[in-house]
Amino acid sequence: MKILALVFDDYETLDLHGPIEMFGHMENVEIKLVGAKYITRSYQGPRVVTDANLDAVTPCDLLIIPGGLGTRKLVEDQTLMIWLQKQEKVSAKVFSICTGSALLAQAGILDGIQATTNKMAYNWVTSLSNKVYWQSSARWVDDGKFLTSSGVSAGTDAALFYIQQIKGKSEAKRIEHLTEYHWNDDATNDPYAVMS
């Protein structure tokens, strides 16, 4: 299984590394980071080294788009928008965490799709596109090719949901136990839902 994850300055650390922790415990998984720079700094400070840049697209089973404060500037980055549009076409599944859905929405990738996002940034993200069927109460939303999750830790819950979807519940529970993580496995259990 080939997993490609976008990184950018001021991405939210747990948005990316929570899901990667879960996926990395499956067998035969290759995880690569892609970004505009060779060294990318998370919002919390630690830096990561990318495996590839945005010059080309890479066919993959899963494309991960984390969120974070960096998305506020990146929604105006046309080079990234074009790359996302091309990369989405060669990705079997697209998974956003937190405000990562803002990037997908701005690129027009979520048009006609049910999706969610970080509830603390809900008004900003949803203002980017009225063509997305935004869900104000959902820990994550799975709509065919697209899996979008709410804020930060919700990405880890959604990652385990996806593992359950492709590998079965026993594998998801094995990884939950292995990592000593308490999995919220109910997408409708969203304590941070936005009241409309």
**pLDDT recorded at residue 196:** 59
Q: pLDDT of 145-172, one tens digit each?
A: 999 999 999 999 999 999 999 999 999 9
**pLDDT recorded at residue 195:** 79
Give the predicted TM-score (pTM) of the model: 0.97
Show the DSSP H helices in the chain as ranges: 13-23, 71-74, 78-89, 100-106, 122-127, 154-167, 169-178
Residues of the chain with pLDDT under 70: 196
User: Superfamily for 2-178?
Assistant: Class I glutamine amidotransferase (GATase) domain (3.40.50.880)
Integer Cα distance of 82 and 24 in angstroms: 28
3-state DSSP assignment of residue 128:
coil
**pLDDT recorded at residue 141:** 98
The overall average pLDDT reported for the chain is 97
Q: pLDDT of 59-86, one tens digit each?
A: 999 999 999 999 999 999 999 999 999 9
